[in-house]
Chains A and B, each alone.
Chain A
């Protein structure tokens, strides 16, 4: 999700940069107030941990490896201020020292991953913790949903920035980015929950967002098979939720700009939009695949083909890389 240079135009880069700068400055103040002179060592070590965790590829089905972001995990463990600062540092290092993510796009990348991603996920975690019954399972479910949502929303923000820059129209970018990252987010959710439960088992006092009494952590002594069943039902329910969301949200997302467009036509703004250069602002020109009458259908089809092609690329690349890495380890 690291946008390279050239994909966001200068106005978008300036606005996202200013937003990120403000949010990061605020986070620095809040976290130094919270942790005092511990802030810098804590932040440095957390950033190094996230960095190491991102290097570690984790398995998705079929040998594909995913990119762990870790924002919601850091926020759940150490609070949202430290969490979002640690991700900011990691993203900045990746841009400066490793050329991963553009330097003019740094503001946009920090905004997507460290600010929108961390805060949306953490906010959802807090909300769900209030809404759900107070027990360990609900906490883990809230954490899973929060971290999954953070990835999907960061992808949506990324698509919006690309659309405003005129690189890819929103109705193509949004469904493609969000649907791919809905799947990637499942991996993020699983890893986040797995790490959080491992830390909860050993040092529950280090999970700052977990405020239930210690007794809730006591092992129920369920036999191994039962635990395995519980794990798999957890995975399956995550998949079902994600699929349901993909089915219900994607058509809405892809048809929403059409709705906007019809409003624009009604108000005679069409003329104005047509005169704006394409690379400044994308007015979403009418487009239909010939032979297909429904515009929504052809848009959805375009999104679907794009998503399928992306999936193929991701799975094939993951397979090739995964096999090579396994081979290296064996040899």
Chain B
């Protein structure tokens, strides 16, 4: 089961980078990809090569990346299904009975699919090389509002606990030969989730009381800001530079 923060720090170059440059670099990369006009197919190939290089640098297994890429499949499939039904103007590429795919329709499909794959891929690299506490620290260094930073760290602390609690409840049901799979058994699952809510709420109260008794007054001291190292800057220059150069060449009219 995927839990945020499953990435382990300190494995290799990309893992050791400061989270700030990874967030800014990969989010910036995604934004540049999304603004690129779809006609420039070669640009998307170069973007993909950049990501291949990064993934190889981080030694990510292609299988792990591919598995996570599956989240975009439903949307791509929806666009593909409707492809024969709209954008009838333009040159017909494929005709199959009453259904036809035009070059404009195909362009829209290519546009969405390529951009979705590339920017999702970038975010997967971010997620797989950055542990959740690092991510939260990076966001806090990037001056994300404190409410969110603190809530995120609370959420990270408890989501794994609650997941394990819900799994152990599920296991308790299964070990009593009860495996709710049908509509009529929804109330049982509802009771389980209800119990989970009550447990989590009372845990929240307990934590709050414990914090107040230790002098909590609504603010936290967060870790101080770290200095960026040369490798961090090099990474930022590489990824943003690559994206910017490709994008500028596209804007200037291609090769």
Q: A interface vs B, CB < 8 Å? A: 2-7, 9-10, 13, 28, 32, 36-49, 51-53, 55-56, 58-61, 63, 77, 85, 89-90, 92-93, 95-104, 166-169, 172-173, 176, 190-191, 193-199, 201-203, 206, 228, 231-232, 235, 278-279, 285, 287, 289-291, 302, 305-306, 309-310, 313, 322, 326, 329
Among residues 105 to 144 in chain B, which have CB atoms less than 8 Å away from a CB atom of chain A?
A: 107-108, 111-116, 118-120, 123-124, 126-127, 130, 132, 135
**In contact, A98 and B2 (Cβ under 8 angstroms):** yes
Among residues 65 to 106 in chain B, which have CB atoms less than 8 Å away from a CB atom of chain A?
A: 68-69, 71-72, 74-75, 77-79, 81-82, 85-89, 98, 104
Q: How far is the CA of A235 from the CA of B132 in the complex (A)?
A: 40
Considering the complex, give the chain A residue whose CB is closest to the CB of B127. A97
Chain B proximity of A109: nearest CB distance (Å) = 12
Write 22 A-B pairs (CB below 8 A) sorted by A numbering. A5-B34, A5-B118, A7-B79, A41-B211, A44-B153, A51-B163, A53-B196, A55-B166, A96-B127, A97-B126, A102-B123, A103-B123, A173-B82, A194-B190, A194-B191, A195-B197, A197-B190, A198-B194, A199-B194, A291-B98, A306-B85, A329-B174
B193 CB contact (under 8 Å) in A53, A104, A166, A309:
A53
**In contact, B81 and A193 (Cβ under 8 angstroms):** no
Q: How far is the CA of A97 from the CA of B126 in the complex (A)?
A: 7
**In contact, B81 and A306 (Cβ under 8 angstroms):** yes
Q: Across the interface, which residues of B come within 8 angstroms of A195, CB to CB?
A: 190, 193-194, 197
B191 CB contact (under 8 Å) in A48, A101, A198, A231:
A198
Q: Across the interface, which residues of B come within 8 angstroms of A285, CB to CB?
A: 86-89
A45 CB contact (under 8 Å) in B1, B30, B126, B203:
B203
Q: Across the interface, which residues of A come within 8 angstroms of B86, CB to CB?
A: 168-169, 172, 285, 287
* Contacts A166-B108, A172-B86; A48 near B159 (Cβ below 8 A): yes
Among residues 172 to 201 in chain B, which have CB atoms less than 8 Å away from a CB atom of chain A?
A: 174, 179-187, 189-191, 193-198, 200-201
**In contact, A99 and B152 (Cβ under 8 angstroms):** no
Interface status of B213 (Cβ within 8 A of chain A) = no
- Size of B's binding interface in residues, CB under 8 A: 96
Given contacts A9-B34, A41-B208, A98-B127, 5 further A-B contacts (CB under 8 A): A5-B33, A52-B166, A99-B127, A102-B116, A197-B194
* Contacts A2-B71, A28-B145, A231-B184; A40 near B150 (Cβ below 8 A): yes
**In contact, B211 and A172 (Cβ under 8 angstroms):** no
